[in-house]
Amino acid sequence: MPKNRNTFSSLTTWRRRVLAGAVHRGRRWVQELGAVTAETPGPLRFRRIGAGTRLAFPQGTVFGEAWIELGDHCIIAEQVTLTAGMMPDLDLGPDPILTLGNGVVLGRGSHVIADTTVTIGSDTYCGPYVYITSTNHSYDDPHQPVGKQWPRAEPVQIGPGCWLGTGAVILPGARLGRNVVVAAGAVVRGEVPDHAVVAGAPAKVVRRWDADSGWQPPLRTPAPVPIPEGVTPEVLRALAEPATDES
């Protein structure tokens, strides 16, 4: 009897392993097939989608594509929302509303809500669940529900080379300079100068860089060691592989 029970258990394990493998292969196939690129846009008709840009599947809410421009080699992760206009099927005029420069990365679950113009500069990287919006609720009338009051919209501009940490919120009217670092969970409004680090809610500048004095306050972490000249991708891949014990 124990032998039969062991045999049944082995068959069940084998079937589960085969089924799990099929599920994972099917998921990868669906993800590949559902990704949006310039060559395979699916139902989405962006004003522009650059070469090498890819929206991972499943996509979040996307509408107003005719007023959305995506640069070259952008990475848009799963469940990212991209919207132009307050609702679908509006005529927003001749100019783009939402513009992503080349090489922009939007992490999983991020939202970019452009009821008026939002511009994200080239090579800006966003961690997961970043929220960028040009619109905010107004609450001027204390006798009306906030959700029923007409919202306010102001353009948002994010300069090139920025890094926005996980859960950062960029509010209407924000203007970030070049190479700005936004700490995780920070809530940014107003103007942020080039080469600044901001943190907190509301976000404040906690570190600045200039050509004369460098970073102030000074950085506490050692500078990264550059990759030596002549090191090829093949060498880096070999270094990343776990060592094998040949003894």
Q: Hey, which residues are catalytic here?
A: 137
Query: Which class for 209: exposed (0-12), middle (13-18), buried (19 or more C-beta within 10 A)?
Result: middle
Characterize 155-179 residue by residue with b for buried, 16 or more Cβ atoms within 10 angstroms of its Cβ, and e for exposed.
ebbbbbbbbbbbbbbbbbbbbbbeb
Tokens of 97: 């509303």
**∠ CA 166-167-168, rounded to 5°:** 95
3-state SS, residue 182? strand
The H or E element containing residue 30 is helix 2-34
Contact between 60 and 82 under an 8 Å Cβ cutoff? The reply is yes
Query: Which class for 142: exposed (0-12), middle (13-18), buried (19 or more C-beta within 10 A)?
Result: exposed
Contact between 211 and 194 under an 8 Å Cβ cutoff? The reply is no
Q: Residue 87 CB: number of other CB atoms within 10 A?
A: 9
